[in-house]
A and B are shown apart, each in its own frame.
Chain A
Amino acid sequence: MPKTKLENLRHLVRYGTAADQKYLLKPFDATYDAIIINANILAHMPNALALTLQQLKKPFFIDPQTHAFQHGAEYLESSTANGKIKRSIQNLIEEYGEPIATKVTQRKALVPRDLASPNVLKEFCRNVVRFQSKTIDSLVSKGENAKYYAYLKRKGYKSDISFSPTLIVAPYFYLTPQTFDVWLDLNLKCLHEVMAEEGKSGVRVAAQVVIDGSVLSNPELIKKLADEYGKKPPAVFLLWVDAFIEQEADETQLKAYMDLIQQLSVHAPVINLYGGFFSVALMVCGVLPRLTGVAHSLEYGESRPVVPVGGGVPVSKFYLPSLHSRLPFRFAFRAIRALGGLSSVSDYHSKVCNCGECVAVIKSNPEEDFYTFGRTTKKEVLRRGAPSSLEYPTPETKDHCVRHYMWCKHKEFTSKLACKELLQSLAEAHKSLRGHLDLQYVNQCAIWSKVIRERIEANAAK
Chain B
Amino acid sequence: MKLKAKKLKEFDIVANVYDELKKTLRTPILLEVPMIGRVVDLAYLKNNRVFTIEFKIKDLNKALKQAKDHLLGADFVYICVPPRKIPSEVRKLLQAEGIGLMFYVKGAKKSIKTVIRAKQSKETWPVLRMDVMQYIKSGQKKYAKN
Query: In the complex, A386 Cα to B14 Cα: how many Å?
Result: 12
Contact across chains for B34 and A333 when beta carbons are under 8 A apart: no
Q: Is B107 among interface residues, defined by CB-CB distance under 8 A? A: no
Q: Is A329 among interface residues, defined by CB-CB distance under 8 A? A: yes
Contact of B36 among A368, A376, A390 (CB under 8 A): A376
Q: Which residues of A (317-367) have their CB < 8 Å from a CB of B?
A: 328-330, 333-334, 367
Contact across chains for A390 and B34 when beta carbons are under 8 A apart: yes
Interface 1/0 per residue, B1-43 and A, CB below 8 Å: 0000000000100000000000000000001111011110000
Interface 1/0 per residue, A379-411 and B, CB below 8 Å: 010000011111100000000000000000000
- Rounded to whole Å, the gap between the CB of B80 and the closest CB of chain A is 17
Q: Which chain B residue lies CB-closest to A386?
A: B11
Q: Is B90 among interface residues, defined by CB-CB distance under 8 A? A: no
Q: Is A28 among interface residues, defined by CB-CB distance under 8 A? A: no
Q: Which chain B residue lies CB-closest to A328?
A: B37
Q: Is A276 among interface residues, defined by CB-CB distance under 8 A? A: no
Query: In the complex, A376 Cα to B38 Cα: how many Å?
Result: 12
Contact across chains for B11 and A367 when beta carbons are under 8 A apart: no
Contact across chains for A387 and B32 when beta carbons are under 8 A apart: yes
Contact of A371 among B38, B69, B127, B135 (CB under 8 A): B127
Contact across chains for B36 and A374 when beta carbons are under 8 A apart: yes
Chain A residue contacts of B69, Cβ below 8 A: 330
Classify the interface of chain B: helix, strand, loop or mixed.
mixed
Q: Is B115 among interface residues, defined by CB-CB distance under 8 A? A: no
Query: In the complex, A378 Cα to B125 Cα: how many Å?
Result: 19
Size band of the B side of the interface? Answer: 10 to 19
Most buried by B among A329, A378, A387: A378
Query: In the complex, A41 Cα to B131 Cα: how many Å?
Result: 39
Given A330-B69, A367-B125, A371-B128, do A388 and B39 touch, yes or no (CB 8 Å)?
Answer: yes
Q: Is B126 among interface residues, defined by CB-CB distance under 8 A? A: yes
- Rounded to whole Å, the gap between the CB of B8 and the closest CB of chain A is 15
Contact across chains for B125 and A333 when beta carbons are under 8 A apart: yes
Contact across chains for B36 and A330 when beta carbons are under 8 A apart: yes
Most buried by B among A328, A386, A389, A391: A389
Query: In the complex, A333 Cα to B38 Cα: how many Å?
Result: 14
Chain B residue contacts of A380, Cβ below 8 A: 32
Contact of A387 among B31, B123, B131, B135 (CB under 8 A): B31
Contact of A391 among B31, B37, B126 (CB under 8 A): B37
Chain B residue contacts of A329, Cβ below 8 A: 36-37
Chain A residue contacts of B128, Cβ below 8 A: 371
- Rounded to whole Å, the gap between the CB of A265 and the closest CB of chain B is 40
Query: In the complex, A30 Cα to B127 Cα: how many Å?
Result: 35
Contact across chains for B34 and A389 when beta carbons are under 8 A apart: yes
Q: Which chain B residue lies CB-closest to A385?
A: B11
Q: Is B72 among interface residues, defined by CB-CB distance under 8 A? A: yes
Query: In the complex, A387 Cα to B38 Cα: how many Å?
Result: 15
Most buried by A among B31, B36, B72: B36
Contact across chains for B36 and A389 when beta carbons are under 8 A apart: no
- Rounded to whole Å, the gap between the CB of B98 and the closest CB of chain A is 15
Query: In the complex, A330 Cα to B39 Cα: how many Å?
Result: 13
Query: In the complex, A391 Cα to B38 Cα: how many Å?
Result: 8
Q: Which chain B residue lies CB-closest to A387?
A: B32
- Rounded to whole Å, the gap between the CB of B130 and the closest CB of chain A is 10
Q: Which residues of B (57-111) have their CB < 8 Å from a CB of A?
A: 69, 72
Chain B residue contacts of A378, Cβ below 8 A: 34, 135
Given A330-B69, A330-B72, A378-B135, do A367 and B127 touch, yes or no (CB 8 Å)?
Answer: yes
Q: Which chain B residue lies CB-closest to A330?
A: B36
Can you list 25 A-B pairs, Cβ within 8 angstroms, ordered by A? A328-B37, A329-B36, A330-B37, A330-B69, A330-B72, A333-B36, A367-B127, A371-B127, A371-B128, A371-B131, A374-B36, A376-B34, A376-B36, A378-B34, A378-B135, A386-B11, A387-B31, A387-B32, A388-B39, A389-B32, A389-B33, A389-B39, A390-B34, A390-B39, A391-B36
Other A-B contacts than A329-B36, A376-B34, 15 sampled, CB-CB below 8 A, are A328-B37, A330-B36, A330-B38, A330-B69, A330-B72, A333-B36, A334-B123, A368-B127, A371-B127, A374-B36, A378-B34, A387-B31, A389-B34, A390-B34, A391-B34
